[in-house]
Amino acid sequence: VKKEEVELKRDIQLEKSLTPDFLEEVYTIPGGERIKDCIQCGTCSGSCPAGYEMEYTPRQLFAMVRAGMRDEVLKSDTIWTCCSCYLCVVRCPRQIKITDIMYALKCLAIKERKYSKHIKAPVLAKNFVFWVNKFGRNQETYLTISFFFLTNIFKMLGQLPLATKLFFQNRLPIFPKKVKNLNQLKTIINRIEKLEEER
């Protein structure tokens, strides 16, 4: 009888931790509501070139989203292992825009700082956005330096011979390539930011 009680309590605890309206948060992206149509066939997981290295496969992840396992989903490395190749999207028999749903989940994880510290992809993405916001264009040289500086500074030293080679091939420019009308771009970014806050 005691064992049964323990299990019941655990189940209640688990159900308490669920976020039933998590699914609706995904609806905010264009086409996001199609996640409801998922039939758990697993075509996405079978197609994914990186699926075998994911904490949960895409099919599992979608079941978790629908079950409301918010924390587990946003903390998992699955969303950050998706490399946006869209193979699952063209194969999905329910026309779910899987890659976009991954983007929506990534954005949520970033917004709430839910991603685990050992995952490096958010660092790269954040730095990318930083340089684009600053100059209007991505700066591959600066991005590489800032990313390795923040993740593995020793590795950066190891990359020096290669970087030197690329530099002498004019493939790692020192000076930033900028847009002329940066204000225009910044105004657009700020306006959207405001609209999103109001929502």
Partner 1 sequence: VRYTYFPGCSLEATAVPYQISISAISGILGLEFEELKDWNCCGATPYMSIKEMIAFAISAKNLALAERQGGDLVAPCSACFTILNKTNVYLKEFPKLKERIDIALNEVGLKYNGGVIIRHLLDVFVRDVGYDQLATKVKVRLEGLKVAPYYGCQIVRPEQMFDNAEMPTSLDTLILTLGAQPIHFPIKSQCCGGTLSVTKEKLGLRMIKDILLCAAQNDADCIVTTCPLCQINLDVYQKKVNKRYRQNFSIPILYFTQLMGLAMGIPVKKLAIKKTITPVKPVLGRYYI
Binding site for partner 1 (CB under 8 A): 29-31, 49-50, 53, 80-81, 83-87, 89-90, 97, 99-100, 103-104, 106-107, 110, 119-126, 128-129, 132, 136-141, 147, 162, 165-166, 169-173, 177, 179-181, 184-185, 187-189, 191-193, 195-196
To the nearest whole angstrom, how small is the minimum distance from the Cβ of residue 12 to partner 1?
35
In the bound state with partner 1, the residue whose beta carbon lies nearer, of 31 and 67, is 31
Nearer to partner 1 among residue 13 and residue 170 (C-beta):
170
Amino acid at 189: I
Q: How many CA atoms lie within 13 A of 170 on its CB side?
A: 0
Minimum Å distance from CB 13 to partner 1?
A: 32
Nearer to partner 1, 26 or 38 (CB): 26
**Cα–Cα distance measured from residue 39 to residue 159, given in angstroms and rounded to the nearest whole number:** 45
Rounded Cα distance, 82 and 102, in Å: 7
The nearer residue to partner 1, 67 or 167, going by C-beta atoms, is 167
Instruction: Report which residue type is found at 121.
Output: A
Residue 155 · residue 148 · CB < 8 Å: yes
Q: Which residues contact 63 (CB under 8 A, 6 or more apart)?
A: 38, 40
Q: How far is the CB of 52 from partner 1 (least distance, A)?
A: 9
**Which residue's CB is nearer to partner 1, number 45 or number 141?**
141
Least distance between partner 1 and beta carbon 187 (Å) = 5
Please report how close the Cβ of residue 122 comes to partner 1 at its closest, in angstroms.
Answer: 8
- Give 10 or 171: the residue with its C-beta nearer to partner 1: 171
Least CB distance to partner 1 at residue 181 (A)? 6
Tell me if 46 sits within 8 A of 34, measured CB to CB. no
The terminus-to-terminus CA distance of the chain in angstroms comes to 50
Burial label for 92, CB within 10 Å (0-12, 13-18, 19+), is buried
**CA pair distance 142, 115, nearest whole angstrom:** 24
